[in-house]
A and B are shown apart, each in its own frame.
Chain A
């Protein structure tokens, strides 16, 4: 158990509203990631962080922003939610700081944008 929690676990919101998802880890892992999972696409990286205040974009970052003010928390924000952002969102941490990268995932947040 990598000690990753995500909140909320489920959310329904309306188009145009802001949404923030939270990922919390209980250990001081440096790398944290946000993915979205959609049928046929597997998991696609949205943003990742390699330390406090250090973040970078993934392959599907448009419409999303992130923040990491503390090692244990990584926030994903949809500034103005759209129906195309309906998805399941997973947070992950990497327990290998250098070398190989085995990522461990949280339980996910199911987001529905109406």
Chain B
């Protein structure tokens, strides 16, 4: 049973527009959430995170929103750039130092 789900395997967006990536989770004990970006043939790189005590965290073009009651988080990328084309993973942490990852969403930003 997947505790972290990314229901959209892929997303295509025009350059300059907003990309919205979604992630749902089932474990109410998760207290920290992260987004990673992955290019082909490279390891995932940390992008942005949010604590469960917050509902929004912003870093430049990237904003993560957390809706605890809905057990849902989203990543907004504004404006989208061709270099944002990658696979994005959401991840969640409960007690301990382990992360649970979603299946990933492949984003294609068209020039």
Report which A residues bind B (CB closer than 8 A): 4, 31, 33, 35, 40-45, 48, 50, 58, 90, 92, 94, 100-108
Q: Which residues of B contact A94 (CB under 8 A)?
A: 97
- A43-B91, A101-B99, A105-B43 known; 20 other A-B pairs, CB under 8 Å? A4-B43, A31-B97, A33-B98, A42-B101, A42-B102, A42-B103, A43-B89, A45-B99, A45-B100, A48-B97, A50-B97, A101-B97, A101-B98, A102-B34, A103-B46, A104-B46, A105-B44, A107-B41, A107-B43, A108-B42
Q: Is B49 touching A102 in the complex (CB atoms < 8 A)? A: yes
Q: Which residues of B contact A103 (CB under 8 A)?
A: 46, 99
Please count the residue pairs between chain A and chain B whose beta carbons lie under 8 angstroms apart in the complex.
57
Q: Which residues of B contact A40 (CB under 8 A)?
A: 9, 103
Q: Which residues of A contact B89 (CB under 8 A)?
A: 42-43
Q: Which of B36, B44, B103, B104 counts the most A-chain CB atoms under 10 A from its CB?
A: B44
Report which B residues bind A (CB closer than 8 A): 4, 6, 9, 32, 34, 36, 41-46, 49, 51, 89, 91, 93, 97-104
Q: Which of A58, A103, A108 counts the most B-chain CB atoms under 10 A from its CB?
A: A103
Q: Is B93 touching A100 in the complex (CB atoms < 8 A)? A: yes
CB closest residue in chain A, given B34: A102
Q: Which residues of A contact B97 (CB under 8 A)?
A: 31, 48, 50, 94, 101
A44's partner among B36, B49, B93, B101 (CB-CB below 8 A) is: B101
A-B contact pairs, 14 of them (CB 8 A): A4-B43, A40-B9, A42-B6, A42-B101, A44-B101, A48-B98, A100-B93, A101-B93, A101-B97, A104-B45, A105-B36, A105-B44, A107-B43, A108-B41
